[in-house]
Structure 1
Amino acid sequence: MSDPAALPKWRVSGPGASRCVDWLCTNPLSTSEVGQARYSPVCDEDGKMTTDLVAFRLGRDEYWLMPTMEFDADLVTRLRGRWNVELENVIERLDTLQVQGPLSRRIVGSVCGEEAAKLSFYRFLPEPVEIAGAQAWISRTGYSGEIGYEIFCAPEDGPAIWRAFREAGDVVPNGFRAIATVRVEAGLVSPLETPPGKRSPYEVSLDRFVRFDGREFQGRQALLRARDEERRGLATLRFDDGPPERGAVVRAAGTVVGEVTSPCRSPGFGSIALAVVDRGGAFAGGVRGSDADQRP
């Protein structure tokens, strides 16, 4: 269990909400259903990722957006000026707890009820449930590569809900380092470790989250070029010695073919790292490609 409450949170509502979020994201959100979450990169006009996000569709004209990194102030001004929307920063009104791992379904069922426990992947309950006398929203989302849930509540209710899960048993609090390790094990890239404006979604194997489908969105023209021209992708590397530094070059037969983005020491796999490398490259010591992402 972890408390990623510091991550940004926005509410988009109003008649232009769907057009607004579809222009913002490379993966269209307006085709999602109420009660469905969806992952998407967010790019600048050059087709480079500035962040990524998970969006929750609360109603016909209402979404929560949970980006990994905060939106640029100029982008927020542009969104507010271009569409008939209300764009609210709700980080001070919405706390987040994550319950992740193979026992999470049983634990969430005991604390939140079976309806929450039976949620499908990237689905959530649009109406809140009661936990420890407080109201909370439950989603089958997370960033661990394992089955997991997120709980959204008012900040003042966070401690009581945290205690309710701790008292359920088999729950161990963890911090960002543990989350970062399981993320690398699962092959999930993070914009926190890829400088904003440096890489396109194609460069980090997020191809399937870029959907053109006849609509206009930020970075579209640049991403059309990247789709045809990008020759690099994400791979997971394993090392006999300790993990390299972030930014270390990756060589094959003496030729530089990429760079390390996310090194870590894994309890299960030893020294590993995500790296952006030339697609099709072969490396001594073993490489596992990570094109298959778990996010819808």
Structure 2
Amino acid sequence: METLLVTPLNAWHKAHGAKMVPFAGWEMPVQYSGIIAEHGHCRTRAAIFDICHMGEFSLKGPGAKNALAAAVTQNLDTLAPGKCRYGFLLNEQGGVLDDLIVYRIADEEFMLVVNGACTASDFATIKGRLPAGLAFADISDNTAKIDLQGPKSFEVLARVLPGEWNTLGYFSFRKTAFDGAEIIVSRTGYTGELGYEFYLPADKAQALWEKLAADPEVLPAGLGARDTLRLEMGYPLYGQDLDTEHTPAEAGYDGMLGSAAPFTGKARAFDVRRKLVALSIEGRRSARHHDKVLDGNGKEVGVVTSGSFSPTLGHSIALAYLDAQAAEADGFTVQAAKAQLPAKKVDLPFYKGGTARAKLS
């Protein structure tokens, strides 16, 4: 049997009735009170998520900015210290090895946050693209990550870590102190709601988690709700909606490829053979990963990458890669396991009421 890795909060999850499942080599909570209840609480109040399985790297030293700009797709020329930016790690063919966020700590100091299943391979790939002399380290084992998400998250943050957080903008971060340790508070998230991500020493994770969980607005939420929340926003999941077989442009992210640096995969990153499209499906029956998508003539033109019932919208939704020409149509059929599901192409996000960019007074 596979030996699963555990986060610093593993014992807490089990003690509080979480259903634990294998995920990306980790034992993780998929739900506590239930996916729909946790989803709804995050959309209306606030939820906390254990994201300690993610990987974190540190890069610093003279020339770090230019070296990193040649390794990932983010435009670092326009990224100021205290800001972070989403982007990609590509292979030579423009395929996505991983999606990641780059944090600019100082002029020549960065933190990279990558997907847990890709930590080892990402580190090896990036290290191979960096010149000698830079300090590049995998700090994942000593770094915990907790996400606080939901329209009430600002109020919770102000109670748990008092400070002038109303001045912290979207995709900005700030260092502060908690329990005698330096931590990073980042106004980012994966739910579409106002929220914050905390990076802190692993041995401080339970103390912060318990303090957040004790707030009357907060419920713990598992990976199940995290997945339905991100899908309602059309946020991609690596390994399903993003992979080495598709370019960022095919996933709809060509607008994020504005870096002037000669990053690996740049020559092919704009290739489009297929397009990732959003499909709205009437009823509760869900499309599933790998379900075939048919055009109006019954011809197979693509495949579903993510699909679920949307608790907020009350019907099913899906993302699918379709042949580029076929993707221009409006109506499709998803060939599910036991039924054919009529699907209509729609614009993202599916859920348009998210509070992520809310202005705080």
Q: Please report the TM-score for the alignment, with normalisation by the length of structure 1.
A: 0.89
Counterparts in 2 of 1:133 and 1:15: CA distance versus 1, 3 Å: closer
Contact 1:205–1:290, Cα closer than 8 Å, also in 2: no
Aligned to 1:99: 148
**Counterpart-to-counterpart distance in 2, 1:220 and 1:260:** 27
Aligned to 1:282: 330
Aligned to 1:138: 185
SS in 1 for 2:219: coil
Which of 272, 278, 296 aligns to 1:235? It is: 278
Aligned residue type for 1:246? H
Which of 247, 264, 273 aligns to 1:218? It is: 264
User: Is residue 2:108 matched to residue 1:61?
Assistant: yes
Counterparts in 2 of 1:231 and 1:272: CA distance versus 1, 3 Å: closer
Which of 295, 302, 314 aligns to 1:252? It is: 295
Counterparts in 2 of 1:291 and 1:219: CA distance versus 1, 3 Å: farther
**Counterpart-to-counterpart distance in 2, 1:195 and 1:186:** 15
Aligned residue type for 1:232? K
Contact 1:206–1:291, Cα closer than 8 Å, also in 2: no
Deviates more, 1:189-198 or 1:50-59: 189-198
User: Is residue 2:320 matched to residue 1:271?
Assistant: no
Counterparts in 2 of 1:212 and 1:35: CA distance versus 1, 3 Å: closer
Counterparts in 2 of 1:34 and 1:87: CA distance versus 1, 3 Å: same
User: Is residue 2:46 matched to residue 1:2?
Assistant: no
**Counterpart-to-counterpart distance in 2, 1:274 and 1:285:** 11
Aligned to 2:40: none
Contact 1:236–1:290, Cα closer than 8 Å, also in 2: no
Q: Which structure 2 residues correspond to residues 19-34 of structure 1 after superposition, within 5 A?
A: 19-34=66-81
SS in 2 for 1:136: strand
Contact 1:145–1:183, Cα closer than 8 Å, also in 2: yes
* Cα deviations by residue, 1:45-70 (Å, 9 ceiling, x for unpaired): 00000101011110111100001232
Counterparts in 2 of 1:162 and 1:219: CA distance versus 1, 3 Å: same
Aligned residue type for 1:44? N
Aligned to 2:42: none
Aligned residue type for 2:152? L
**Counterpart-to-counterpart distance in 1, 2:346 and 2:329:** 11
* Cα deviations by residue, 1:81-139 (Å, 9 ceiling, x for unpaired): x35311100011211110001111111112122423431100001xx323345432111
State the Cα RMSD in Å: 2.4
**Counterpart-to-counterpart distance in 2, 1:12 and 1:153:** 17
Q: Which structure 2 residues correspond to residues 83-94 of structure 1 after superposition, within 5 A?
A: 83-94=132-143
Aligned to 2:245: 198
What is the total number of aligned residue pairs between the two structures?
289
**Counterpart-to-counterpart distance in 2, 1:87 and 1:95:** 19
